[in-house]
A and B are shown apart, each in its own frame.
Chain A
């Protein structure tokens, strides 16, 4: 059993009591809600005549269903409008802070909460969305929950939870030029499998992780869940503190000094015990692309699509399914695969540095003929800062569309969808069958810079060939 890790320390701070079933009642320090998984939780609360116990510890925004072209209310989709109206009403009734459209702080929940300084080291963060693991980048224990648990957190600010085991993933070296956090996490999921992390929290550590910006760290932790780990985290350090300093909800003055002392005390001890440890070399990782229908089906840009017969036995069936669904041939190089749609955005890669890196590839070039390419900033703040830096112009000049913030085509609960058999290069997090809105649409996951390269060439491209000095 682990001891002395950040996970253990934060867990202990939030433990309320042991429950009869053998799980722990865990206090939730920050509860984030959005329009998709909260309405049923609020109705359950009303049915049971319960109040929201700590309304000041829940924060709401709207992201999944918002259109990214015209955000004028009422939305043209009446269902989307109903979901947003329901959320607005629930927040008002229960005294919950809501960052709506036009508030300057709206955005994909896992983008907007960190940039407001709501997410801080040492917190427990819960949200009815599996990519809540994102917030672990700050040294928080952050995990996705279901709607019944959203109801429980609203009612009691706590949850019944089982303590996870802790696996440390130590990454040596540093990422090469043209290789990003996204490539690293796709590589890790490929190595450990989509269910390798079930029952574990992942601690990402080592020189290659420490060199990542907070935005890169969020990309890594965001996809911990795609490797089966319900939460992933990174010990807080100077990079974390530098990011948090001066943010709207960050502590100020004397509180800031005290906060840093507490945050530093939470870092995993040098003699901490882990349930499992894995080490890999970050310097040898190449740009990575998924070719199949699970995020674990990734290969380096230089590799060929695997032949299912040559894979380990337990991977053969899903690989066969994938080849068939994707209509990609085994033993063919992934580089050069033709693309129809290019999507840059999502809670994985919709932050300023993601857009910035992608814009460097796009600058002075044109989107290949026949390709639909669009950029969806992760939040209103990202959109504003990108505009100040002229990033929107670079994309627009190249032939990309520049949209309003939202989850967009990552999960297509809004007008942004693939059509028919279209194949997309996407900076999002899931390549499941039908994920991007068409029952037979196809998704290749990759870094935002790789998506940009694919847009320019109209096919999967090694971004390093388009990098400039």
Chain B
């Protein structure tokens, strides 16, 4: 089956959730470096969390049958730290993740997700723990994420989520694909170049 990737405005995301527990989960764990040897991202979905999954012999959340087809990932603190590899969000996206909720995210990882149209939403430690417990109690429940309202709910319980203003606007407006926006500024780029001493023989 061909996967659909995010495009345009990100308003709502609906689906089942899964939990990865732990602080400081780095991008080497999300996708070990040996899988970076590729000229296209297409196979990465199968390799996400490869070493952790191998260690847990089928009991890793990404291997458990009940989580197959889930699209919302709930994590803890400083998720995605370490290497800048975009292979990490790519691997998560290709496994099926469309939304990540956590206590906090590493900056480059957050930007890489944004560039793919995957929101990284935050909430307090207390709220995240509660959300993770709820998700783990029943992996079948459907969660509704609403970006405009900054919330996720399962009909019974609703959680307030946060996201920094700039990224939020980009996702709401569908302008998270930055290239076209940057290309608009051709004239202004020329002016910047003209004023940079090192591009003008230090005159």
Q: How far is the CB of B134 from chain A (nearest CB, A)?
A: 21
Q: Is the CB of B29 within 8 A of A21?
A: no
Contact of B167 among A21, A317, A411 (CB under 8 A): A21
Q: Give the residues from 1 to 42 in chain B that come closer than 8 angstroms, CB to CB, to chain A.
A: 22-24, 26, 28-29, 32-34, 36-41
> Considering the complex, which residues of chain B in the window 63-88 have a beta carbon less than 8 Å from any beta carbon of chain A?
77-78, 81-87
9-residue interface stretch from B107-115, B142-150, B153-161:
B107-115
Indicate which residue in B39, B51, B81, B192 contacts A433 across the interface (CB closer than 8 Å). B51
Give the chain A neighbours of B112 by CB distance below 8 A: 146-149
Q: Are A152 and B182 in contact (CB under 8 A)?
A: yes
- Closest chain B CB from A433 CB (angstroms): 6
Within 8 Å of chain A (Cβ to Cβ): is B116? Answer: yes
Is B179 a contact of A155 with CB atoms below 8 Å?
Answer: yes
- Mark interface residues in A9-53 (1 if CB within 8 Å of B CB, else 0): 000011111011111010101000000110110010000101000
Nearest Cβ on chain A to B149's Cβ, whole angstroms: 19
Assess whether A158 is interfacial by the CB under 8 Å rule.
yes
Indicate the size class of the contact surface on chain B: 35 or more
What residue in chain B is nearest A122 (Cβ atoms)? B198
Taken residue by residue from 174 to 189, chain B's Cβ proximity to chain A (1 for < 8 Å, 0 otherwise) reads as: 0100110111010011
Stretch at the interface among A76-84, A364-372, A419-427, A456-464: A76-84
CB-based nearest B residue for A417: B34
Q: Any chain A CB within 8 A of the CB of B130?
A: no
Q: Which of A169-177, A251-259, A282-290 contacts B (4 or more CB under 8 A)?
A: A251-259
- Report how far A140 CA is from B38 CA in the complex, Å: 31
Q: Is A217's beta carbon under 8 Å from chain B?
A: no
Cβ of A194 within 8 Å of any chain B Cβ, yes or no, is yes
Would you call A129 an interface residue if the criterion is a C-beta within 8 Å of the partner chain's C-beta atoms? yes
CA gap between A215 and B23 in the complex, in Å: 33
In whole Å, how far is B199's beta carbon from the nearest beta carbon of chain A? 7
Chain A 180-207 interface 0/1 with B at a Cβ cutoff of 8 Å (1 = within): 0000000000000011001100000000
Is A243 part of the binding interface, using a Cβ–Cβ cutoff of 8 Å?
no
A40 to B43, CA, bound (A): 13
A122 / chain B contacts, CB cutoff of 8 Å: 197-198
Contacts of A347 in B (CB 8 A): none
Is there contact, CB below 8 Å, between A435 and B33? yes
Nearest-CB residue, chain B, relative to A262:
B197
The answer to whether A159 has its CB under 8 Å from any CB of chain B is yes
Q: Do residues B173 and A437 form an inter-chain contact, with CB atoms below 8 A?
A: no
Cα–Cα distance between A122 and B166 once the two chains are bound (Å): 27
CB distance from B94 to the nearest CB of A (A): 12
B97-112, CB < 8 A from A = 104, 106-108, 111-112
**A228 neighbours in B (Cβ, 8 Å):** 78, 81, 106-107
Chain B residue with the shortest CB-CB distance to A42: B39
* Chain A residue at minimum C-beta to C-beta distance from B115: A148
CA distance A462 to B41 in the complex (A): 44
Q: How far is the CA of A198 from the CA of B107 in the complex (A)?
A: 7
Q: Which residues on the A side are within 8 Å of B51 (C-beta)?
A: 433-434, 439
**Chain A residues with Cβ under 8 A from B82's Cβ?**
130, 430, 432
Find out whether the CB atom of A413 lies under 8 angstroms from the CB atom of B192: no
Taking a contact as CB atoms under 8 Å apart, the answer to whether B39 and A86 are in contact is yes
The digit string for A213-252, where 1 denotes a CB below 8 A from any CB of B, is 0000000000000001010000000000000000000010
Expressed in whole angstroms, the minimum distance between the Cβ of B142 and any Cβ of chain A is 30
CB distance A29 to B28 under 8 Å? Answer: no
Q: How far is the CB of A241 from chain B (nearest CB, A)?
A: 13
CA distance A433 to B29 in the complex (A): 7
Please name all residues of chain B whose beta carbon is closer than 8 Å to the beta carbon of A323 when the two chains form the complex: none
Query: Does A294 sit within 8 A of B, measured CB to CB?
Result: yes
Q: Which of B23, B24, B40, B107 sits near A40, CB closer than 8 Å? A: B40
Cα of A228 to Cα of B84 in the assembled complex, Å: 12
Q: A260's closest neighbor in chain B, by CB? A: B202
Question: What's the minimum C-beta distance from A350 to chain B, rounded to whole angstroms?
Answer: 17
B137 at the binding interface (Cβ < 8 Å): no
Contact A413 B189 (CB under 8 A): no
Q: Note all chain A residues with C-beta closer than 8 A to B26.
A: 294, 430, 432
Q: Is A160 an interface residue (CB 8 A)?
A: yes
A83, A155, A262, A433: the one within 8 Å of B37 (CB): A83
B169 x A22 contact (CB < 8 A):
yes
Distance A159 CA – B198 CA, assembled complex (angstroms): 19
Chain B residues whose C-beta falls within 8 Å of the C-beta of A439 in the assembled complex: 32, 50-51, 54-55
| Known contacts A128-B84, A194-B24; 7 further A-B pairs (Cβ under 8 A) | A22-B169, A23-B166, A37-B86, A80-B37, A199-B107, A321-B22, A435-B28
Chain A residues packing against B (C-beta within 8 Å): 13-17, 19-23, 25, 27, 29, 36-37, 39-40, 43, 48, 50, 64-65, 77, 79-80, 82-83, 86, 120, 122-123, 128-130, 132, 144-149, 151-152, 155-160, 162, 194-195, 198-199, 228, 230, 251, 255, 258-259, 262, 294, 314, 317-318, 321, 411-413, 430, 432-435, 437, 439-440
- Which 6 pairs, one residue from A and one from B, show the smallest C-beta to C-beta distance? A22-B166, A148-B115, A146-B112, A146-B86, A258-B202, A144-B84
